Amino acid sequence: MRPDYFDHYPTIEFERTERGVLTMRLHSDHGPVIYSEQHHADWCGAFYEVGADRDNRIVIITGTGDAFIDKYGWTGTYSRAADWDDKAFEGRRMIRNYLDIEVPIIAAVNGPASIHNELAVLADIVLAATTATFSDAPHFPNRVPPGDGIQVIWQLLLGINRGRYFLLTGQELCAREALELGVVSEVLEPEALIPRANELAQQLAKVGTMTLRMSKAALVQDLKRLMDQQLTSSITMEGMAVMDMLMKRQKGDQN
């Protein structure tokens, strides 16, 4: 039976096999993601419903076309504290809902991931196409503090010093560099990416559902603790800097 929530989110395509392997394909009008407020809201709600659906046994998350998430289409200014509070509320729950999906997640990174790439690298297994790259374009290079969870996962993946360098300089890692640094587990030709993700999903699906769920719960405890410790304060810091920047722009102050 097709769950109702499969039709609730205009920026996500869902497909599930009989063995409970759910594929979530992120998109904009069925093409590559152009990241917008709609995506942010959809991801928050969809991750909750995917996690609450006990028929999901493995989740594959991927992008559409030649990019994972690499183009920006956000239109809101968020110059008032109340505006930022609404999105901060949604942002905190998006990460928590993602980590609350109590089954293994496989990320198939099909191309550049420069926006919200935590959705890829927080997965339990991360596969990358040879065309994939990883960077954090929307934050520090754009005068915004990295405060929505991206700062937690990249310092864990790269180590504190490399992680800070990555976030503060706008460094871009190619797929091979990401493999060498332990960010991804496999690099594949683009046409082999989804078949390999499905192959791994079928391999995992052979294990009992209780083992899948309890393994995920065991493996994600530290990540959830770190996110819970940092998300509220760091998103608040992000919002303060954004509002300060917008106020200065209105006054013509470029500093």
Q: Which residues are catalytic?
A: 118
Q: Cβ contacts of residue 135 below 8 Å, gap of 6+?
A: 112, 113, 114, 117, 166, 170, 171, 172, 173
CB 58 within 8 A of CB 103: yes
CB 144 within 8 A of CB 157: no
CA–CA separation, 147 and 231 (whole Å): 7
Give me the residues paired with residue 26 across strands.
12
Q: Cβ contacts of residue 255 below 8 Å, gap of 6+?
A: 248
Q: Is 233 exposed, middle or buried (0-12, 13-18, 19+ CB in 10 A)?
A: exposed
Find, among 182, 70, 191, 194, the residue nearest to 133 by Cα: 70
- Taking the alpha carbons at both ends of the chain, their separation in whole angstroms is 56
User: Which tokens is 169 given?
Assistant: 């300089």
- Where do we find the tokens 């046994």? 57
Q: What values do phi and psi take at 23, rounded to 5?
A: -105, 130
Find, among 190, 155, 148, 173, the residue nearest to 62 by Cα: 190
